Chains A and B, each alone.
Chain A
Amino acid sequence: AQRVTQPEKLLSVFKGAPVELKCNYSYSGSPELFWYVQYSRQRLQLLLRHISRESIKGFTADLNKGETSFHLKKPFAQEEDSAMYYCALNRGGKLIFGQGTELSVKP
């Protein structure tokens, strides 16, 4: 079954520390993965997608097919990065979301 797992509900780090939000997926085909972010009282918005291999707001994510992972990383967290982060898998045009990880960056 297709599934996205984000094992951490809450991740708390200090400003300037590295951050890694974990995402593992289960998918039989060639996966298309995304990271979405939801800041407080704002709508969900696309952060990045694996096929574009871009860095947005200092975040990067590499697809590791061997480990079936798509972890989101940032070398130096900022307070404004505090938000809910969702990993998502494209399944035939539909998105399957992980449970989400709340990132809290403390000053």
Chain B
Amino acid sequence: GAVVSQHPSRVICKSGTSVKIECRSLDFQATTMFWYRQFPKQSLMLMATSNEGSKATYEQGVEKDKFLINHASLTLSTLTVTSAHPEDSSFYICSAQAGGPDADTQYFGPGTRLTVL
């Protein structure tokens, strides 16, 4: 149980285009989802916290107009990288919390490798 999927797993796009990444909780309802960015052999940096039906909360230094987050249902959150540039190339990972007795456990997706040419 508690599986989180991400789609696509890998995307290559041209500079200036927008890319949407989906994060789904497959067998549970996620009250909260998180988006992280990870550079090679480095730590995960939290970008934003997403709650179903409300606006995402962004961490300091993260441009909310560039990284649009939508959490339309209890099983789906999307991250759209708008007007992508090469410096946005990274590994983007989402996680989901189920709530309830296991409320503070985050289940991670497999990540999406974004390459901006």
Residue numbers in A under 8 Å from B34 (CB-CB): 94-95
Q: Do A32 and B49 touch (CB < 8 A)?
A: no
Looking at the assembled complex, report how far the CB atom of B106 sits from the nearest CB atom of chain A, in whole angstroms.
6
Query: Which residues of A are in contact with B by a Cβ distance under 8 Å?
Result: 9, 32, 36, 42-46, 49, 84, 86, 90, 93-100, 102
Q: Do A45 and B104 touch (CB < 8 A)?
A: no
Residue numbers in A under 8 Å from B95 (CB-CB): 44
Contact with A along B45-56 (1 / 0, CB 8 A): 110010000000
The 9 closest A-B pairs by CB, nearest first: A44-B108, A43-B110, A97-B43, A99-B43, A97-B44, A43-B108, A100-B43, A94-B46, A90-B104
Q: Do B43 and A95 touch (CB < 8 A)?
A: no
Assembly CA distance A39 to B110 (angstroms)? 11
Smallest CB gap from B111: residue in A = A43
Query: Which residues of B are in contact with A by a Cβ distance under 8 Å?
Result: 4, 32, 34, 41-46, 49, 93, 95, 97, 104-106, 108-111
Q: Do A45 and B108 touch (CB < 8 A)?
A: yes
Smallest CB gap from A95: residue in B = B106
Q: Is the interface of A mostly helix, strand, loop or mixed?
A: strand
Residue numbers in A under 8 Å from B4 (CB-CB): 43
Assembly CA distance A19 to B64 (angstroms)? 41
Looking at the assembled complex, report how far the CB atom of A13 sits from the nearest CB atom of chain B, in whole angstroms.
19
The 12 sampled A-B contact pairs (Cβ below 8 Å) are A32-B104, A36-B108, A43-B109, A44-B95, A49-B105, A86-B44, A93-B32, A93-B49, A93-B97, A96-B46, A97-B44, A99-B42
